[in-house]
């Protein structure tokens, strides 16, 4: 990238000074290295792993390990491409800002708004889930009240400063990471019969219809189910841009994502399939039937269901915290470039995009109210489904942007890159092919088709507003 990626209109993607300029050593308003590390480690761990992995294993068999491995490799390619751009020029808003420079305003507008819309839906979903969990523990508290309380709580932590967000996320992510490390460590001992009352059970990988009981094609189609579990890794790059050493943080975040995926996702699925025969896993209809709960029960952990409920609740809180951070930073970046109302640019003295944070919360609150007040209206389901393809859109835009920026660079700029994508541009085409394959697979299932078509409705709506935004950009440039 070198000089190719520059500030728009004299400011960074976040407005004012770019992170690389203001990231003074030891700045009390910046994230520390440990914050970025734990955000990177815990950013992708949620209910999709703790509970949703059970459905994938049931439909694929032990070969679900391959599904998670292939999906993880595709995400790793996208992260490496994002890392190449971000290491050369840290920007809050990351891939939206790079899309603006590499592809044009239209691309930045589209991918930025889709990403923000995705997180608004996530905030609504996680707040509803958290509220229902609180209601289950404390029946006197209505589920809707619990949802609003959680949203207000994490709006408060995000409003104070980015350091406060990082500190809260550090401890929430730590709980998830510790739980998985224990899960994996004991699982290895259990599988080899080295745990009390355990027998050698590695044979569960092939003794119940084979490693791929439904064929290896099922493992390939399983990629479409698991790839969305990884969405969220890009938060680490956005957070690193607000750290004390942005370039170092981004290099670490993008370079270590592959072993995190292998360890936490692939390793966890491997442990589940060796501890419990895949065909004995029940439908994970609740936490008590989640694969992690059943495995902890096999370990002999007392109150395994309650333990997992607490861990999953922690995961919900973590997603709410990081979701508010991601949504607010992207919304503010959109406003900085003229793709969103100017009022959204407003920031506190500590650099928090206050109006973007509050506006993102309003979107989550509205979706939450709709879910509780009119659960049969279909509006909440539409919001959830219409954000289904955002991950694929983001990966494609990242690959296209990186290709175009690399093409514009001089040989000297390419040689000076601190982080490079290997075999360029071959791996870009591999990623395109992977995304196309996932899209085709989604079109073969009723739920997948619903997500595809509703997502396209959201894209078309954004395209219809683009002429209005473009006229505003022209006026802005003329005034400057």
Q: What is the full per-residue pLDDT of the chain (480 aa) written as tens digits?
A: 443 333 333 333 333 334 333 333 445 568 887 888 787 777 678 778 888 888 899 989 999 999 999 998 898 899 889 888 888 777 766 788 889 989 999 999 999 999 998 888 888 888 888 888 899 899 999 988 999 999 999 999 999 988 888 899 999 989 988 999 999 999 999 999 999 988 999 999 999 999 999 988 889 888 888 888 888 777 877 887 788 878 777 777 777 777 777 788 999 999 999 999 999 999 887 788 889 999 999 999 899 889 988 998 998 899 889 889 989 999 999 999 999 998 999 898 888 999 999 999 887 788 778 878 877 766 667 776 777 788 889 999 999 999 999 998 888 888 888 888 888 899 999 999 999 999 998 888 888 888 888 888 889 999 999 999 999 888 887 776
Going through 35-145 in order, the beta strands assigned E by DSSP cover none
Q: Considering only the top CATH level, what class is 25-479?
A: mainly alpha
User: Which is nearest to 63 in space by CA: 183, 222, 179?
Assistant: 222
- The share of the chain scoring above pLDDT 70, in percent, equals 91
Task: Confirm if 337 and 8 have CB atoms less than 8 A apart.
Answer: yes
User: Which is nearest to 36 in space by CA: 234, 236, 231?
Assistant: 236
What residues does each domain of the chain span? 25-479
How many residues are given for the chain?
480
CA distances from 204 to 70, 113, 273, 450 (A): 22, 45, 7, 35
φ, ψ (nearest 5 deg) of residue 200: -60, 120
Task: Confirm if 117 and 390 have CB atoms less than 8 A apart.
Answer: yes
**pLDDT value of position 118:** 87
**pLDDT value of position 23:** 36
Residue owning tokens 């990351």: 94
Task: Confirm if 330 and 96 have CB atoms less than 8 A apart.
Answer: yes
CA distances from 174 to 180, 267, 291 (A): 10, 18, 21
* 3-class SS shares of the chain: helix, strand, coil, % to 5: 75, 0, 25
Question: Rounded distance, CA 194 to CA 471, Å?
Answer: 68
Residue owning tokens 């992170």: 19
Could you please report the per-residue DSSP string of 175-195? Answer: HHHHHHHHHHHHHHHHHBT-S
Judge residue 397's burial from the number of C-beta atoms within 10 Å of its C-beta, 0-12 exposed, 13-18 middle, 19 or more buried: buried
**pLDDT value of position 462:** 92
413-439 CB burial, b ≥16 within 10 A, e <16 = beeebebebeeebebbeebbebbebbe
Q: Give the contacts of 72 (CB within 8 A, at least 6 positions apart).
A: 230, 258, 261, 262, 265, 266
| Radius of gyration of the chain measured on its C-alpha atoms | 22
Tell me the Ramachandran region of residue 27: left when phi exceeds 0, alpha when psi lies from -120 to 50, beta otherwise. beta
**pLDDT value of position 380:** 67
Q: Give the contacts of 309 (CB within 8 A, at least 6 positions apart).
A: 133, 287
Task: Confirm if 103 and 399 have CB atoms less than 8 A apart.
Answer: no
Query: What is the enclosing helix (H) or strand (E) of 124?
Result: helix 105-137
Task: Confirm if 61 and 275 have CB atoms less than 8 A apart.
Answer: no
**pLDDT value of position 125:** 83
Question: Rounded distance, CA 68 to CA 44, Å?
Answer: 13
**pLDDT value of position 28:** 54
Task: Confirm if 364 and 124 have CB atoms less than 8 A apart.
Answer: yes
What count of other Cβ atoms lies within 10 Å of the Cβ of residue 377?
A: 11
Q: Report if pTM > 0.75.
A: yes
């Amino acid at each position: 990238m070198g000089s190719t990626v520059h500030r728009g209109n004299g400011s960074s993607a976040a407005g004012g000074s770019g992170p690389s300029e203001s990231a003074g050593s030891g700045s009390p308003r910046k994230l520390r290295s440990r914050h970025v590390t734990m955000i990177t480690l815990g950013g992708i761990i949620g209910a999709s792993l703790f509970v949703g992995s059970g459905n994938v294993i049931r439909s694929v068999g032990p070969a679900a390990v391959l599904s998670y491995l292939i999906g993880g490799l595709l995400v790793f390619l996208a992260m490496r491409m994002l890392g190449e751009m971000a290491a050369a020029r840290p920007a809050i808003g990351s891939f939206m800002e790079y899309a603006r420079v590499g592809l044009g305003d239209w691309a930045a507008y589209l991918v930025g708004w889709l990403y923000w819309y995705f997180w608004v839906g996530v905030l609504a979903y996680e707040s509803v889930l958290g509220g229902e969990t609180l209601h289950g523990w404390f029946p006197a508290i209505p589920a809707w009240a619990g949802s609003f309380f959680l949203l207000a709580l994490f709006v408060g932590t995000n409003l104070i400063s980015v350091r406060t967000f990082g500190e809260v996320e550090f401890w929430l992510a730590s709980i998830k990471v510790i739980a998985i490390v224990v899960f994996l460590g004991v699982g290895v001992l259990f599988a080899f019969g080295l745990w009390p009352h355990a027998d050698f059970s590695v044979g569960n990988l092939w003794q119940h219809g084979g490693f791929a009981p439904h064929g290896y094609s099922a493992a390939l189609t399983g990629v479409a189910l698991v790839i969305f579990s990884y969405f969220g890794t890009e938060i680490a790059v956005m957070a690193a841009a607000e750290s004390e050493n942005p370039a170092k943080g981004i290099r670490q975040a993008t370079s270590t994502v592959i072993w995190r995926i292998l360890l936490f996702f692939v390793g966890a699925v491997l442990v589940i399939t060796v501890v419990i025969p895949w065909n004995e896993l029940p439908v994970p209809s609740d936490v008590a039937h989640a694969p992690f709960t059943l495995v902890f029960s096999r370990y002999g952990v007392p109150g395994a269901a309650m333990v997992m409920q607490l861990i999953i609740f922690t995961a919900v809180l973590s997603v709410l915290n990081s979701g508010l951070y991601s949504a607010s930073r992207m919304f503010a970046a959109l406003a900085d470039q003229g793709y969103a109302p100017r009022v959204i640019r407003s920031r506190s003295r500590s650099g928090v995009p206050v109006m973007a944070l509050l506006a993102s919360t309003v979107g989550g609150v509205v979706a939450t109210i709709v879910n509780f007040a009119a659960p049969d209206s279909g509006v909440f389901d539409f919001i959830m489904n219409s954000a289904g393809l955002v991950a694929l859109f983001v990966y494609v835009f990242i690959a296209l942007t990186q290709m175009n920026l690399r093409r514009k660079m001089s040989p000297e700029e390419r040689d000076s890159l601190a982080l490079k994508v290997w075999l360029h541009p071959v791996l870009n085409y591999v990623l395109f092919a992977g995304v196309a394959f996932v899209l085709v697979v989604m079109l073969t299932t009723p739920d997948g088709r619903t997500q595809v078509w509703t997502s396209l409705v959201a894209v078309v709506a954004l395209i219809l507003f683009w002429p209005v935004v473009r006229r505003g950009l022209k006026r802005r440039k003329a005034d400057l």
